[in-house]
Chain A
Amino acid sequence: MSSIAEKVVAGDIRTVARLIRDIDDGMPEVREVLKELYPHTGNAYVIGITGSPGVGKSTLVDQMVAHIRKRDKTVGVLAVDPTSPFSGGAILGDRVRMQRHSMDPGVFIRSLATRGHFGGLTQSTRSAIDVLDAMGKDYILVETVGVGQDEVDVVRSAHTTVIVVIPGMGDDIQAIKAGILEVGDIFLINKADREGADKTLSDLRLMIEMDQKKYEEGGWKPPILKVEAVFDKGIEEFLQAVDQHAAYLAKTEGGLDFRGNQNKVREELREMVKARLLEEALERLTESGEFDRAVESIVKKKVDPYTACEDLVLPILDQ
């Protein structure tokens, strides 16, 4: 093993932090390290937490960390915040809610920006999960804003996907319905002391019950729980629901080890191949100047973008 991989497995904070940076910055050298780390992964339980901005995800994650620590288990947190499409910068503020854990050696918290990855957010976050897994964290919590396919894909790769809503989000639940309702294993109504919590509960229940047939065939029926993260109410019950979901997964094909699960492996490998192909191909086209020349030709109306695209892509596929 390289010294980097060794240090990661030994739990060296600085090495882990720097490796995640290299992954995020797209440094090609990290691939060798990730290969070495792979045999050391697959032990952590990954929980994805998603929901609209302001529903209290970070506060919830903070409480989850506290409760998981009471079980004497270690935790890694990946908190993803959006990159500004205008400046490329980002304010990563999720940590504010979790700073009380910063001195706890059993907790590692890392903020990530979505950046402009070509579908690579999923890829780099998954690699970061692997790193935290290899360093020996028992639980890994991944928090993302639940908008956009990438963010949804990230939490989908978790063992348990948690969707957080708040009362009075009538229209937002409609939005969730279209995209991420299907991926929720547990639904949380946070800030449940607010007016409208019961209405939100029945709205959600109605939507979930529409899949009744699936549950009758032994599928997992997502529980809907009310919590008040800021007051530490309902968190233990919520974690028990996570335990139940884990027990359910353990009985399904492939069990908790997603790396022995055909579908999961297929999906993950497809993502990986996609990201790598895109990266290599675009790099080649950009470096050779072909890409810019094609743009120029389209702008000058010499060629249509469909033909230009074919001219760029086909020769690469022929190789």
Chain B
Amino acid sequence: MKQKRRVRVMVAKPGLDGHDRGARIIARAYRDAGFEVVYTGLHQTPEEIVEAAIQEDVDMIGLSSLAGAHNYLFPAVVQLLRERGADDIVVCGGGIIPEDDIKTLKTAGVKAVFTPGTPLDQIVKWVEENVSPRS
């Protein structure tokens, strides 16, 4: 029987912050939604994340940052994807991100930003509506 295209996403922790509880919970929610979730672990550089995303052929990268460096790290991932001709990969982010920064990040090409307290099913729904498995 024909296999159906499955959504593949990557959950990544860029930079130096060492807390990946949120990232793990998100990964679990994605799995329960039927996505294949590649998890990269902590302390990743934007370069490592982009390279992994390309090798894994994911449809989306979800970046998690709690340490305040999101204004550098998130746009860096978007920019590198562009340079590699892989800007069809959707980038979204989550974590402790001030309201003002969200606008900046969206201008830089981050498609969505989820702050603490966002219900998991709302995030999953956003992915289902905005990320399609490659056709």
A91 touches B28 (CB 8 A): yes
Residues of A within 8 A of B31 (CB): 84, 87, 89-91
Q: Is A24 an interface residue (CB 8 A)?
A: yes
CA distance A109 to B54 in the complex (A): 10
B57 touches A18 (CB 8 A): yes
Q: Is A95 an interface residue (CB 8 A)?
A: yes
CA distance A90 to B48 in the complex (A): 22
B27 touches A91 (CB 8 A): yes
CA distance A23 to B85 in the complex (A): 22
A283 touches B2 (CB 8 A): yes
B85 touches A25 (CB 8 A): no
Q: Kindly supply a per-residue 1/0 record for chain A positions 169-201, scoring 1 wherever the CB is within 8 Å of any chain B CB and 0 otherwise.
A: 000000000000000000000000000000000
B38 touches A89 (CB 8 A): no
A-B contact count, CB below 8 Å?
100
Other contacts beyond A25-B3, A102-B52, A103-B51: 15, CB < 8 A: A13-B55, A14-B54, A14-B86, A25-B133, A26-B2, A83-B36, A84-B31, A87-B32, A87-B33, A89-B36, A90-B36, A91-B37, A93-B39, A103-B48, A109-B52
CA distance A134 to B97 in the complex (A): 45
On chain A, which size bracket covers the interface?
A: 35 or more
B56 touches A110 (CB 8 A): yes
Q: Is A17 an interface residue (CB 8 A)?
A: yes
Q: How far is the CB of A245 from chain B (nearest CB, A)?
A: 28
A14 touches B44 (CB 8 A): no
Residues of A within 8 A of B5 (CB): 25
B55 touches A282 (CB 8 A): no
A89 touches B34 (CB 8 A): yes
The answer to whether A102 and B55 touch (CB under 8 A), given A14-B86, A21-B134, A25-B6, is yes
Q: Is A305 an interface residue (CB 8 A)?
A: no
Number of interface residues of B (CB under 8 A): 35
Stretch at the interface among A111-119, A156-164, A294-302: A111-119
Residues on A close to B: CB < 8 A?
A: 13-14, 17-18, 20-21, 24-26, 28, 83-84, 86-93, 95-97, 99, 102-103, 108-111, 113, 115, 117-118, 278-279, 282-283, 286
B3 touches A96 (CB 8 A): no
Closest to B3 in A: A26
Residues on B close to A: CB < 8 A?
A: 1-6, 8, 27-28, 30-41, 44, 47-48, 51-52, 54-57, 84-86, 133-134
CA distance A24 to B6 in the complex (A): 9
A95 touches B40 (CB 8 A): yes
Closest to A97 in B: B41
A282 touches B1 (CB 8 A): yes
Q: How far is the CB of B74 from chain A (nearest CB, A)?
A: 19
The 10 closest A-B pairs by CB, nearest first: A26-B3, A96-B41, A89-B31, A17-B57, A21-B57, A88-B34, A89-B34, A282-B1, A92-B38, A102-B48
CA distance A184 to B40 in the complex (A): 30
Residues of B within 8 A of A118 (CB): 1
CA distance A91 to B23 in the complex (A): 12
A109 touches B55 (CB 8 A): yes
The answer to whether A279 and B1 touch (CB under 8 A), given A21-B134, A88-B34, A92-B39, is yes
B1 touches A286 (CB 8 A): yes
A99 touches B37 (CB 8 A): no
- A99 CB contact (under 8 Å) in B32, B40, B57, B84: B40
Residues of A within 8 A of B57 (CB): 17-18, 20-21
Q: How far is the CB of B35 from chain A (nearest CB, A)?
A: 5
Contact sample, A vs B, 6 pairs, CB 8 Å cutoff = A21-B57, A26-B3, A89-B30, A102-B48, A282-B1, A286-B1
Closest to A107 in B: B55
